[in-house]
Amino acid sequence: MRHPRPADLPLTIDRSAPRSLVVQIADGLREVVRAGVLQAGDPLPSTRALATRLGVARGTVVAAYDQLHGEGWLVADEGATRVDPGVHLDHPGRAPSPSRGVAAQTVPPSAADVIDLRPGQPDVTDVVDGAWRAAWRSAVGQAGARHDPSGSLALRSALAEHVRIARGVVVGEGEILVTAGVREGLQLVLTALVLGQDARDRQLRVAVEDPGYPALRRVIAALGHEVVPVPVDEAGLRVDHLDSDLDAVLVTPGHQYPLGGAMPVGRRLELIAWARDHGAVVLEDDYDGELRFTGEPVPALAALDRGDEGVVVTLGSFAKVLAPGIGLGHVIVPMPLRQRVITLRHDVGCPVPATVQDALEYYLDAGALRRHTARMRRRYRDRRDVALRLLSGLEGVRVRPMDGGLHAVVELEGVDAAAERAVVAEARARGVLVAGMADYWSDLRPRHPAGGLPRHGLVVGLGPPSLEEGLTRLREVIAPA
């Protein structure tokens, strides 16, 4: 059997040292195991390979290995010498990577049955089907392909057709750029806005919904721009609360995040008119726009932004309708900003591999995304019904209306910040991860009143297949018998 590829071990020997070479090699191997470079079950180099690298006789290495075999550090199996699988040492310098989400929680290692109901995690169990495999097989067959920095022309054409049918936006492929998702698209557009100013280091003022999507707020702040919270109501962002000197407004009009309402046409037209009057750009995050299970998806804000002097930039991705790991999205850029964004994209390049672009193009052209989206609308509608059945009617609990999307907002009567944290912690102790509503507000000491909107409560994802079990446990936390 061929010897498996081992770790490249940081071993050295000193021929002038009083210790023998056998002892030096054995001591060095013990140290790399203690340091975690080699772990339980890892293969070691063959005696011939290690002897060649160290410049010693093979018999010297064999003797060192034999010594460690006798001490219980090593075993021989499957044609290789390995660290004994029973050797488990603590390595203080190592720490598990925190899980990502609105409010990352540390899960006890013993909690093997933890159910993650934090929002933003779609059900990916049925993504991989015949159409998906065929798309990736076709893409891999074009492994040498190279695309324009704006993205594959074929993919941009497919995306133009997709947003026309699914979102009511009529654009050509020249108005679309491929991105690595909404966050990367937001960075690209904000950087282009700065480069268009006389002062290259000018700080932008960007309005965001409050409550709103915290990850995108962090992107704006990380780029050095000012985040300006603006209140929302049941119809979305309050246009009458916008400052006159804003550079951009970030909104989720199709499905306000996290409260879930869709911005009506009148409010949309009011926002576009405000942006034209004040020389600002509207950044439309088309969050969950296609996953509406009450009626048809609402046309995107960009569908109302007609003419050559458009003000709406649309940021989209496939993270929720397909899977977050795809890492592909798009940005639709109006004429006044388009050339700046295209020039910047050509300067920095496109971060999305050609194979990923080709796979998504084949998948879109086959009509597979439309079919998958229809399936997921039905599935999330059923999940909404499960949430309503298990959580509605409990004393002091209200589940906000859900017209679409991957999550539900659960209001808890009389809950303050400390009580919310306690509920989240108790749910975690019961093996259920949820997010607190406080994470979505820009400031819990607000500049404006909440207007009856919940400052505290829970945001619960509907994506996991084990939703019913997770909600049953959560019910026991928020409404104990």
One-character DSSP codes across 156-172? HHHHHHHHHHHH-----
Would you list the domain boundaries of the chain? 1-95, 115-121+371-478, 130-366
Determine whether domain 115-121+371-478 maps to CATH 3.40.720.10. no
Pairing of strands 312-317, 329-332: antiparallel
pLDDT the model gives residue 197: 61
Separation between Cα atoms, residue 54 and residue 201, nearest integer Å: 54
CB 287 within 8 A of CB 214: no
Digits of tens for pLDDT over the chain (481 positions)?
Answer: 444 555 678 888 888 888 889 999 999 999 988 888 888 888 888 898 899 889 999 989 998 998 888 888 898 876 788 888 877 765 544 433 333 333 334 444 344 578 899 988 888 888 889 999 999 999 988 877 789 999 999 999 999 999 988 888 899 999 999 999 999 999 999 999 998 765 455 899 999 999 998 999 999 999 999 999 999 998 899 999 999 999 999 999 988 888 888 888 899 999 999 999 999 999 999 876 667 656 555 678 888 887 778 999 999 998 888 888 888 999 999 988 999 999 999 999 999 999 999 999 999 999 999 999 888 888 888 888 899 999 988 888 888 877 777 888 999 888 888 999 999 999 999 999 999 998 889 865 555 555 678 888 999 998 888 899 999 999 999 987 5
CB 243 within 8 A of CB 228: yes
What are 111's two structure tokens?
A: 């909690």
| CB environment 33-68: b (16+ within 10 A), e (fewer) | beeebbeeebbbbbbeebbeebebeeebbbbbbebb
pLDDT the model gives residue 401: 78
**Given this chain, do its domains 1-95 and 115-121+371-478 carry the same CATH topology?**
no
Residue 144's Cβ-count burial label (10 Å; 0-12, 13-18, 19+) is exposed
R_g of the chain computed on alpha carbons: 28
Question: Which residues, in sequence order, are bridge partners of residue 36?
Answer: none
pLDDT per residue as tens digits for the range 354-379: 999 999 999 999 999 999 988 888 88
Domain 130-366 belongs to what topology?
Answer: Aspartate Aminotransferase; domain 2 (3.40.640)
Q: Residue 208 phi/psi, 5° resolution?
A: -130, 155
Pick the CATH number of 1-95 from 1.10.645.10, 1.10.10.10, 3.60.15.10, 3.40.50.1980: 1.10.10.10
pLDDT the model gives residue 98: 34
pLDDT the model gives residue 78: 65
**The pTM is what?**
0.76
Separation between Cα atoms, residue 83 and residue 88, nearest integer Å: 10
